[in-house]
Every structure is written in C-alpha cells, then in structure tokens.
Amino acid sequence: MIDRSRNLAILGLQWGDEGKGKLVDLLSARFRHVVRFQGGNNAGHTVVVDGQSIALHQVPSGALHTGCFLVVGSGVLLNLEVFHQELSRLSQRGVDVTGRMIISDKAHLILPHHIALDQWREGRAGANRIGTTGRGIGPAYEMKAARMGVRKGDLKHPDSLQERIRASYEEVRLLLGAEAQLPSLEAIAAQLMEQARPLLPLIGDIQAHLREAQAKGEPILFEGAQATLLDIDHGTYPFVTSSNCSIGGLFTGTGLSHKDLGYVVGVAKAYTTRVGAGPMPSELQDASGDRLREVGREFGTTTGRPRRCGWFDAPITRHAVRTNGADGLGLMKLDVLDGLDQVGLVIGYRDGEGGLVPNLPSCAQDWACLRPEVRMYKGWTQATRGVRSLEALPREARIYLDALAEAAEAPIAYLSTGPDRDEGFAWPGRFLEGML
C-alpha cells in the first residue's frame, strides 16, 4: 500500500510574495522530492540562509538541501538562459544540484520572440497594461494553448527543432513588423541547442519519476509559485498570471492526481499586498499603508516597485482556502504588525448600495465598487519578532489571530515571526507540528 498522506503542497492564498519560499525551505529537509509545477521566471522565492538571501525563480527551493531531489514539472516554463544563471549563482554559493534534478520533457520553453511579443504588447497597451514582467511568460503559455509551443522533449530532436519553432516565430514576426529587432529563426534554434546541451540528460518523464518515488515511500513536497488571486481562472482576471497557480495547476503540472496529496498548506501574510494593477479592496492609501510597506519591506525584489499594502483581507483568503482545499494556514510576517496601536481585519465587502457581498465578483468592473468592511483590533506593545511558541505571544496578538483564522475559515498551522528559519513555530496540535 503506497502512503501518499505525507505528500504536501504549499500554495499562495493572496497575490503572491507571501513568504512561501521560507516555508518550502523549512519543510524541504523533510521531503525527498521538491516539485515546481507552474509559472516561469516571473515568479520566485526568496529564502534567507545565515542572514543571506537567495532568490530562486525556476529552480525548486529544495535546492538548498542536498538531500532533496528537484523536479521541474510540465506546467513550468523555462527560460534556459535564466535557468543557467540561476544554477551558476547556486554553484557559487556551494550548492550543487548534479544528479538530483529532473526536468519534465513536457515543460515548455520561453523563446526570444515570446519576450519580444510580451514587451511589444505592454508597450502599446497604455492605461490598459496588465503590468506583466515582460519576460515572455504570457506568450509562451499562449503558444502552448495554440499548439505552437516548444517543449523540452523537442530539444532531443535537433533536426526538427527549427520547424517546431517556425509557426510561432512567423506569427510574431507578422505582428511586430519587419523592423522588429528579432534574432533569426536559425539563430534561435542554434542558441537553444547550445543552452540545452548540458541539460539534455536531465530531461525526462517526471510523472513516472514521481510514481516511482511514491512506490519507494519517498515523500513529495509541491511548491506553488505566485498565488490564488493571480490564478488565470480563479484570480482577479484579467490582472492575473497566465497559469493556474492554485491547486488545479499542481495536477496538470505533474500528472499526479488528487489522491496523491496528503495536505495543503495555504500561505498568507498577516496583512495583504499586491504588485501592479488590478482590484485590491483592502488597499490602504494612507500612512498605515506606508507603514506596512516600510516595515514589511514591501518592494519588488527585481524592480524595486513599491507593493500596494492593506489589512488582512479575509474574503480573498477564504476564497483561496476554499479553492485549494487548504488544510491550514502558514501565516507569515506577523512581526510587521508589531507596535501598531490598532490592527485592521477586512471581514467582508459592501457593494455600491451598501449590501454585503457574499462571494468574490468575477469582473474587474464589479470589484471597483466594493468597499471593505474593516474590524479594528487592539495592537500589541510586546514585540512578536522571533517568538517561537504560542505562550510567548501577546494576548492581543492571539485575539487578532483567532479572529483572522475564523474569518479565513482555516486554522493556523505555522506562524512566522521573522525572515529567518528559526523565527516562528508550528502551531501546537496541528499537522505541521513535529515536521519543522
């Protein structure tokens, strides 16, 4: 009998940057396989080790644990140039992944003309910009759906590679016009083969790999990138990413089934942030928002763009808990709320007529008229930074956390009280106890 109950998924419940990387890093030591299943180099985690932070975009965060086998799933998009840069940064830090990585042969590639198309579109969209990272992620997923994508498995057939690329390349050329600065088709294929050569032995069938792992009783950790409110189906469309970053993406991005999963940890900050445009009813455009941004260091890791900040938004988190079937919360960055006189919790939304809105709207236009219903809680004077037990939490923080968990409809399984590995604790009596 195969025991799948130990397989665990970590998924974002807000608009990303929740601190998933820390939790994945903490837990990976307990797992033999760590799997990335969607997203491209538009996502990424920051993990802090011995006070030094390392940003990982495409390589699974388990890289830092030598006992972890790294699996790049079929739903992941790889930009090979960036992938190599990441591997070499890891190797400069003494992290070697040789012999412990497999890349799905079904995973698609990001090509130079995908990037050109992405930037061309964002450049001409004016006020309607989605605010993509301009790294070709959207176009690469579009080409996948249009059956014009190029997969890792295609790299094993160099003779037909150019033909595989041709259809998407010619379409982009037509759209961008003759004056667009694009490398030639031949140059793209040649560069791809050059970049792919050292990776060819790693390309394989990850579904079979994970099945074998399960047969051997080896536990698997699935690490989500981005988050549910950015999910192309269940997020704030069209201000979303181009993949399913909630639970469905785990299954399509690995070929495993729901029966292969034991637990789902949904990760959220003790407040809310969002990067770029799109609905965010909890946004605070005042000194409280500025304070969350400064103390929480809410600035984009690559662009330095300030993130929009607000109180914890229970309606969006509850939606994400339900969508993912989250068994518990990984609640991060409680320490950022230290020292506030009052802490807010968005418990619901009211529409233009003042009526309570029971479910999240699907259209951006309907989001625009929502007003958050905020309940204020007394802040705490004693700092929570570095607190490692329930007993050491200030009483006011406990009251706030109990209300938050009830409103989000999920118990807190892990509470994070600082960026370092040992700042935080697994909630006593809940499923992560004994795993950290």
Residue positions annotated with a catalytic role: 17, 45
**Closest approach of Cβ 254 to ligand GDP, in Å?**
20
Query: What residues are paired with 34 via a beta bridge?
Result: 70, 221
Q: Strand (E) positions, 7-142?
A: 8-12, 33-36, 45-49, 52-56, 69-72, 77-78, 101-104, 108-109
CA–CA distance, 391 with 310 (Å, rounded to integer): 28
**HSE toward the beta carbon, residue 109, CA cutoff 13 A:** 26
User: Site for ligand GDP (CB under 6 A): which residue of 46, 162, 195, 252?
Assistant: 46
Tell me the CA distances in angstroms from 225 to 6, 39, 48, 246, 333, one per residue in order.
Answer: 21, 6, 17, 9, 18
DSSP H helical ranges for 197-300:
206-215, 247-252, 287-295
**Closest approach of Cβ 241 to ligand GDP, in Å?**
13
Considering only 45-53, 194-202, 235-243, 346-354, which stretch makes contact with ligand GDP by CB under 6 A? 45-53
Cβ proximity to ligand GDP, 226 vs 323, nearer residue: 226
Among 60, 224, 236, 40, smallest CA distance to 139 is for: 40
First to last CA, the chain: 26
290: which DSSP letter? H
Among 95, 72, 67, 99, smallest CA distance to 83 is for: 72
Considering only 71-79, 84-92, 169-177, 415-423, which stretch makes contact with ligand GDP by CB under 6 A? 415-423
Encoding tokens for residue 214? 């399960």
**HSE toward the beta carbon, residue 426, CA cutoff 13 A:** 13
CA angle 368, 374, 376 (to 5 degrees): 155
22 binds ligand GDP (CB under 6 A): yes
Considering only 158-166, 361-369, 401-409, 410-418, which stretch makes contact with ligand GDP by CB under 6 A? 410-418
User: Site for ligand GDP (CB under 6 A): which residue of 77, 309, 417, 425?
Assistant: 417
**Closest approach of Cβ 49 to ligand GDP, in Å?**
10
416 binds ligand GDP (CB under 6 A): yes
231 binds ligand GDP (CB under 6 A): no
40 binds ligand GDP (CB under 6 A): no
Cβ proximity to ligand GDP, 57 vs 106, nearer residue: 57
Cβ proximity to ligand GDP, 45 vs 144, nearer residue: 45
Cβ proximity to ligand GDP, 224 vs 372, nearer residue: 224
45 binds ligand GDP (CB under 6 A): yes
**Closest approach of Cβ 258 to ligand GDP, in Å?**
23
User: Site for ligand GDP (CB under 6 A): which residue of 7, 8, 19, 253?
Assistant: 19
One symbol per residue from 126 to 155: x for binding ligand GDP (CB under 6 A), - otherwise; what is it? ------------------------------
Encoding tokens for residue 383? 């700092």
Cβ proximity to ligand GDP, 242 vs 416, nearer residue: 416
CA angle 231, 417, 45 (to 5 degrees): 40
| Cβ neighbourhood burial of 98 (10 Å; 0-12, 13-18, 19+) | exposed
- H helices then E strands: how many in the chain? 12, 19
One symbol per residue from 233 to 272: x for binding ligand GDP (CB under 6 A), - otherwise; what is it? ----------------------------------------
**Closest approach of Cβ 425 to ligand GDP, in Å?**
11
Cβ proximity to ligand GDP, 17 vs 118, nearer residue: 17
Amino acid in the structure at residue 200: L
**Closest approach of Cβ 123 to ligand GDP, in Å?**
27
What is the per-residue DSSP string for 203-217?
EE-HHHHHHHHHHTT
Q: What is the dihedral of CA 91, 101, 25, 218, to 10 degrees?
A: -150
User: Site for ligand GDP (CB under 6 A): which residue of 7, 9, 13, 18?
Assistant: 18
Cβ proximity to ligand GDP, 58 vs 417, nearer residue: 417
One symbol per residue from 323 to 352: x for binding ligand GDP (CB under 6 A), - otherwise; what is it? ---------xx-xx----------------
**Closest approach of Cβ 420 to ligand GDP, in Å?**
8
48 binds ligand GDP (CB under 6 A): yes
- Which positions lie near ligand GDP, rule CB under 6 A? 12, 16-22, 45-46, 48, 332-333, 335-336, 416-419
